[in-house]
Amino acid sequence: MVAETFELPADMADAIIAHACASYPAEVCGIISGRAGVGVELYLGRNVSPTPTVAYELDIEMLARQVRFGDDGLTLAAIYHSHPAGPEVPSESDVSRAFYPDSVYLICSLAEPARPILRGFRIVDGRVHETRLVQR
């Protein structure tokens, strides 16, 4: 079970926001390895969705990368994506496609491009609970 807080290094938060801004108006996605509720390494993914302005789908290479996390004593700590037009909460599609209950789902909203918002959630059995992000 994931912690109620997730420690997200400030440089990772900045990189997620930069990734989202650089690909606007398409959604971006990626993953974060970690341990015990702390992000360790960020991996920028490639959105291979046929409708990238309204949905995301991680490329297969990125999904396969998580297999190697266990070799390093890490887990798939978080999955991130952007909502170019907001809001910064999981959509119905996000909830229905949340297959990793032990991971935090990070959403970066660019509804106000000058003030991006990054929030985290746990999605388990269709229920959404906000996870407090702690930046260090």
Instruction: From first to last of the 136 residues of the chain, give the pLDDT tens digit.
Output: 445 899 999 999 999 999 999 999 999 999 999 999 999 999 999 999 999 999 999 998 888 888 889 888 999 999 999 999 999 999 999 999 999 999 999 999 999 999 999 999 999 999 999 999 998 8
DSSP states of the chain as a string?
A: ---SEEEE-HHHHHHHHHHHHHHTTS--EEEEEEETTEEEEEEE--B--SSTTT---B-HHHHHHHHHHGGGT-EEEEEEEEETT--SS--HHHHHT---TTSEEEEEE-SSTTS-EEEEEEEETTEEEEEEEEE-
Asked whether residue 34 is domain-assigned, the answer is: yes
Domain range for 48 is 5-130
Total domain count for the chain? 1
Active site residue 92: no
Asked whether residue 135 is domain-assigned, the answer is: no
Asked whether residue 59 is domain-assigned, the answer is: yes
Asked whether residue 17 is domain-assigned, the answer is: yes
pLDDT of res. 1: 46
pTM of structure: 0.94
Asked whether residue 22 is domain-assigned, the answer is: yes
CATH of the domain at 75: 3.40.140.10
Given 7, 27, 57, 88, the catalytic residue:
27
Asked whether residue 136 is domain-assigned, the answer is: no
